[in-house]
Structure 1
């Protein structure tokens, strides 16, 4: 979300995709400098599902669709992009696309989350952004080429 603070104005512009309801969960809080900042209300935060719940559903979905070599990487405290990253493989471009499509459907159905998805048409590497959980679904050759696990795994961890 992009937030523009305007000192003394009290109201600011925020841009968010239409499918998200983040703006309805924000309230304006004044700062001592006279500027305003948006804060998420406690009720909005408790109504949200936790990243661990989303991760559990992602892993169950990948298992249901026969994804292979599933690796989960905990990003908490290491990156602000997400709490978890999941990397897995499908045996073919068709399976990679199907795994991604079913995952997006299940997250929408169970949690009401609209996920962003990239690369489904090609089927070599599909990225699913479920906010707290980032999922990469690869064909095995493409996964071997990019080796994301090596980049994100903690130092000394075995892949």
Structure 2
């Protein structure tokens, strides 16, 4: 990956983190996992306090990134299942219920990743 793209990607990741924080997502973590996997560079992991909140947070992030930054995403999962994934290619956002976040424990799975930001 060329350096200028990496700078754009981290700026985009930080914008997403700001959106998550504005919309009351909790325990937000931005991780650089580029040394662990080849399918993305960054994970953003956060928690929503209800199914409705998980869905609303995902909708806002997808809509704002598309309308304000012309960045499109694919989503997977359903809020009722406690885990929504938003795939921006170089950035993957995981929005969990607390129960599913504890169960899947991505932070532990990718414990060697560099944590760039943690908002609790």
Alignment TM class, shorter chain as reference = 0.7 to 0.9
Pair 1:70-2:19 in alignment: no
* Equivalent of residue 126 in structure 1, options 74, 77, 84: 84
2:94 is paired with a residue whose SS is: strand
Pair 1:56-2:19 in alignment: no
**Unaligned segments of structure 1, at least 5 residues:** 1-41
Per-residue CA deviation, residues 23-54 of structure 1 (Å, 9 max, x unaligned), is: xxxxxxxxxxxxxxxxxxx9xxx79x821121
Distance change (3 Å), C-alpha of 1:77 and 1:127:
same
1:119 is paired with a residue whose SS is: strand
Equivalence for 1:91: 49
CA displacement at 1:142 relative to structure 2: 1.1
Distance change (3 Å), C-alpha of 1:153 and 1:52:
same
4+ residue runs over 4 A deviation: none
TM-score w.r.t. structure 2 length?
0.83
Q: Which has the bigger relative contact order, CA under 8 A and spacing at least 6?
A: 2
Bigger Rg, structure 1 or 2: 1
1:101 is paired with a residue whose SS is: helix
- Give the RMSD, CA atoms, in angstroms: 2.5
1:97 is paired with a residue whose SS is: helix
* Equivalent of residue 102 in structure 2, options 140, 144, 154: 144
